[in-house]
Amino acid sequence: MTKTAVAPRHVRPDLKRIASWIEPGSRVLDLGCGDGTLLAYLQNDKHVVGAGVELNDEQVIAAIRRGVQVIQQNLEEGLAMFGDKQFDTVVLSRTLQSMHNTEHILREMARVARYGIVSFPNFGYWPHGWSILRGRMPVTGEMPYQWFDTPNIHLCTLKDFEDLAAALQLRITHLATFNGNKEVKLLPGWRSTLAVYRFESPPPGSSQP
């Protein structure tokens, strides 16, 4: 099968930021890898050894066409197939908010890799509050669904995630926030629509709560 190349210009800015936090030649697991864009970019640009997990049939096929190794599985079933610290970095991009058991997937990420990277819509974005004051659930670019058909079941703000990370002993090392294709530096909690965090897992032998 002919591989489908990924040109850098076709990679979203948030994925490029994620890639900048990953060491060349490292082992990467991409959870909910979609069409394999991130892993294909990492394999080409940083020569990582990568694998993805994806459930959707069409996305799995697209990822394979990009030359990405994919395991087809529902993330809600956990990561039991992977060993402790089997990877250097595990990525969960724009999927955390749709997980039923948020704490469990974060603990599993910390178990299988030294570093974790997650991204999710920022519910603290100021127009969201304005929508709620007007009596409506917010509908924006990062949250384009109506309340009755949304896959997003656990929405949070930046502070909410930071509190959970602290409770799970995940040490946050990097944060990047975006509004569309632009990275937000000023007042990110209010002005960003997407948050991207990198965390370091607890050291071996520590007991997570």
Q: Write out the chain in H/E/C secondary structure.
A: CCCCCCCHHHCCHHHHHHHHCCCCCCEEEEECCCCCHHHHHHHHHHCCEEEEEECCHHHHHHHHHCCCCEEECCHHHCCCCCCCCCEEEEEEECCHHHCCCHHHHHHHHHHHEEEEEEEEEECCCHHHHHHHHCCCCCCCCCCCCCCCCCCCCCCECHHHHHHHHHHCCCEEEEEEEEECCEEECCCHHHHCCEEEEEEECCCCCCCCC
Tokens of 74: 């529902």
pTM: 0.90
- Residue 199 token pair: 């965390």
Q: Which residues of the chain have pLDDT under 50?
A: none
Rounded to the nearest 10 degrees, the angle between the axes of helix 13-20 and helix 37-46 is 40
Q: How far apart are CA 46 and CA 69, in angstroms?
A: 16
Instruction: Give the integer Cα–Cα distance in Å for 92 and 53.
Output: 10
Tokens representing 101 are 């058991």
**Rounded to an integer, what distance in angstroms lies between the CA atom of residue 140 and that of residue 180?**
11
The span from the CA of 122 to the CA of 161, in Å, is 10
Please report, for residues 17, 105, 118, 123, 153, the alpha-carbon distance to residue 189 in angstroms, rounded to integers and kept in the order given: 18, 24, 16, 9, 20
Give the pLDDT confidence score for residue 173 in this predicted structure. 98
Q: Which domains does the chain show, CATH number per domain?
A: 8-200 (3.40.50.150)
**8 Å CB contact between 38 and 91:** yes
Give bridge partners of residue 71 from the DSSP assignment: 53
**Confidence at residue 63, expressed as pLDDT on a 0 to 100 scale:** 96
Answer yes or no: are the C-beta atoms of 48 and 22 closer than 8 Å: yes
